[in-house]
Amino acid sequence: MKKLIVILMILIVGILACGCTSQSTTPATTVPTTAAPTPVPTTEVPTAVPTMEVTTEIPTIVVTTVVTTATPTPTPLPDVTVKVTGAHGFSPSTVTIPAGTKVIFSTNSIDSTFHLGIVKSIGGNDIVQSDLITYKKPWSYTFKTAGKFYVADTDARNEYGTIIVK
């Protein structure tokens, strides 16, 4: 494209240079006059050929990718209910749960109050937690660590329910 423009410019300058300096075919005669001589018009011919510079910029595309990672919300563990069925009974008698599960101890016995304790060994005094439960006041405990725990009415130490935490 640049070469074509340069060639056209040279051609145009050449045509202008040839057309402006034409000579008459009749012989010149001298006529005495008293008037001032008329100046002959002159045309300036450029000595340098102008050049054109064409620049093409390629646009830069910036792509920004935002990656968001969803943090999974842990599904809450369902509560487990253990019923104290009497002075010496638990239903179910053995429960296996994952760590972090809340166990609710309740009773259907309207006239009874039970003093429940969670212990680490049968017949032991290593009570982890204890509380009173009645018909209108259940008690709950969240088992946070793995292990085997026993639940008993602390007044009747030989009756136990078992909670296995995995």
Position 93 in a domain = yes
Rounded to the nearest 10°, the torsion over CA 125, 127, 131, 133 is: -70
Position 38 in a domain = no
Which residue segment(s) compose the domain that 115 sits in? 80-165
C-alpha R_g of the chain: 55
Position 49 in a domain = no
Summarised one tens digit per residue, pLDDT across range 66-116 is 877 888 887 888 899 888 876 667 888 899 999 999 999 888 888 778 888
Question: What's the number of domains the chain is made of?
Answer: 1
pLDDT confidence of residue 147: 93
pLDDT confidence of residue 75: 80
Position 40 in a domain = no
CATH for 155: 2.60.40.420
> Which residue shows structure tokens 């749960």?
97
Structure tokens at 9: 């410019």
Among 47-61, 74-88, 131-145, which range has the highest average pLDDT?
A: 131-145
Position 84 in a domain = yes
